[in-house]
Structure 1
Amino acid sequence: MKTLGVDLAAATKKTAVAVIEWSNDRAKLAHLALDVDDREIVDLVGNCDMTGVDCPVGWPDALIPFLAGHLNFDAAPVLEHDGIAGRRLLAYRDTDRFCTAQTGLIPLSVSADRLAHPAMRCAVIQAKIAALHGPQPRDGSGRLAEVYPAAALKIWGMNGRGYKGRGIPEAERLSLLLAALEEQAPWLDLAGHRDRITASDDLFDAVIASLTARAVARRRTLLPDAGHAQAARSEGWIHLPSCTLDDLPL
């Protein structure tokens, strides 16, 4: 099995990918790249069994009628979201609220934060993937799944905070995180890329996304139940690991 992790930025710069090959209870980092364009991502998706992308793959269901109502001067669907509680339904998806309930982490809003820019690129990439490899369900039941490295790290007992940035404190935190990952996952061969990963939080997130993709492929994530299934199909679903790191290579 080969899994791909994508830490998607709004543009090629700072977009990172990591491919992990799995065999005989071991795993090896087979490919690691930074500043990756759409074409390489689509090609890698076609060559891997499962892809985990650190980016929303859809928008809140409530946002579409709200915007359509505003465009067409139809007050009813707009006034349904009067007040802060109503606007939260426009800003956060069902899976975002589920993730917060499970982990205490609040994902960035795909419609009301800078995360919207990578999400627009992600939508374009999904269309390109569909043209070459077939449409991929947004709930992760195909070969593409939405992942959240910070949440995966927390579930796996690591504090995924304070390592993003170019300062000395962030670099030290990232180095400690990678050391913790190596200690908890001795079966993972970084193939000489340790220094590159400690120098880039984007590359680190891509590795965590690839590890989470393995959990998705093995059906070892929290899947949407009947109450979440419909929203997951349209809005997307963040796959949170339901297993330990030790379970991944098995």
Structure 2
Amino acid sequence: MKTLGVDLAAATKKTAVAVIEWGAGSTGSGAARLTHLALDVDDQHIVELFGSTDMTGVDCPVGWPDALIPFLTGHLDNIAAPVLEHDGIAGRRLLAYRDTDRFVTRETGLIPLSVSADRLAHPAMRCAVIQAKIAQLHGPQPRDGSGRLAEVYPAASLKIWGLNGRGYKGRGVPEAERLALLLAALEEQAPWLDLAGHRDSLAGSDDLFDAVIASLTARAAARRRTLLPDSTHAAAARTEGWIHLPDCRLDELPKGS
């Protein structure tokens, strides 16, 4: 099995990808090897990698809140009712956050950025275009992650796996030091993961590091070892997307096919 992790930015710059081949590590069976790592990646490369791997984890929302479309349509058509339904802060939260965002907060205490009211909106627009390009070649991918594309959230994966993911993003010296410590902690907890000479690159880029975490989470999603939407979340997950939170330890990822 090969998994692809994508740390998606609004443009090619700072977009990172990581491919992990499972059962291909230098330590023998039950291991994994980082076979491809790249930064400043364009849409075409992402689509090509999707086609050559088994499961993709993308660190970006794959959909928008269900409430947002009727709200915008009502505003466009000067129909008051669907707009007034979201009067007040509680109503606006339904426009800003998806069902899966609220689920992640309940499970982890983390608050994902809003896809409709924060800087994440621009990458999400690019993600929608990439999904359309994938659909043209490989068929539409369900937004709930039941196909070959799953939405992931590296910060949540790190927390679930007991890795301190605070303060490692950025270009300053403190951030670089925290990233180095985080990478060392990952190596300690996942000795079965062969970084294949990419350690220095990972230590120098939080984008590349996040792509690796996305690829690891894609493995959990492929093996159905993530928290899946139950009947109360299933409908929203199909339209808005679903963030896949690992439901397994790191050392369980290499097991199985």
For Structure 1 versus Structure 2, the TM-score category normalised by the shorter chain is: over 0.9
**Cα drift, residue 109 of structure 1:** 0.1
**Cα drift, residue 159 of structure 1:** 1.6
Matches of 1:38 and 1:138, distance apart in 2:
19
**Cα drift, residue 115 of structure 1:** 0.2
Residue 169 of structure 1 is aligned with which of 154, 169, 174?
174
Aligned to 2:2: 2
Q: Which runs of 4+ in 1 moved over 3 A?
A: none
Residue 137 of structure 1 is aligned with which of 137, 142, 150?
142
Write the deviation string for residues 36-70 of structure 1: whole angstroms up to 9, x where unpaired.
00000000000000000000000000000000000
Aligned to 1:11: 11
Q: Give the TM-score, by structure 2 length.
A: 0.97
Residue 223 of structure 2 is aligned with which of 213, 218, 232?
218
Residue correspondences, number: 250
2:60 counterpart SS class: coil
Matches of 2:230 and 2:176, distance apart in 1:
39
Point out where structure 1 has 5 or more consecutive residues left out of the alignment.
none
Residue 199 of structure 1 pairs with residue 184 of structure 2? no
1:5 counterpart SS class: strand
Q: Which amino acid aligns with 1:104?
A: G
Matches of 1:195 and 1:212, distance apart in 2:
22
Residue 35 of structure 1 is aligned with which of 26, 31, 40?
40
Residue 94 of structure 1 is aligned with which of 90, 99, 108?
99
Aligned to 2:165: 160
Q: Which amino acid aligns with 1:205?
A: D
Residue 54 of structure 1 is aligned with which of 56, 59, 84?
59
Write the deviation string for residues 144-202 of structure 1: whole angstroms up to 9, x where unpaired.
00000000000000121100000000000000000000000000000000000000000
Write the deviation string for residues 5-51 of structure 1: whole angstroms up to 9, x where unpaired.
00000000000000000012000000000000000000000000000
2:5 counterpart SS class: strand
**Cα drift, residue 248 of structure 1:** 0.1
Matches of 2:166 and 2:93, distance apart in 1:
24
Matches of 2:163 and 2:31, distance apart in 1:
21
Q: Which amino acid aligns with 1:140?
A: G
Matches of 2:173 and 2:153, distance apart in 1:
24
Q: Which amino acid aligns with 1:247?
A: E
**Cα drift, residue 213 of structure 1:** 0.2
**Cα drift, residue 218 of structure 1:** 0.4
**Cα drift, residue 80 of structure 1:** 0.1
1:113 counterpart SS class: coil
Aligned to 2:125: 120
Matches of 2:208 and 2:195, distance apart in 1:
12
Write the deviation string for residues 108-157 of structure 1: whole angstroms up to 9, x where unpaired.
00000010000000000000000001100000000000000000000000
2:228 counterpart SS class: coil
Q: Which amino acid aligns with 1:120?
A: M
Matches of 1:138 and 1:159, distance apart in 2:
29
Matches of 2:164 and 2:122, distance apart in 1:
26
Matches of 2:164 and 2:202, distance apart in 1:
17
1:192 counterpart SS class: coil
Matches of 1:192 and 1:44, distance apart in 2:
20
How much identity, in percent, do the aligned residues show?
Answer: 85
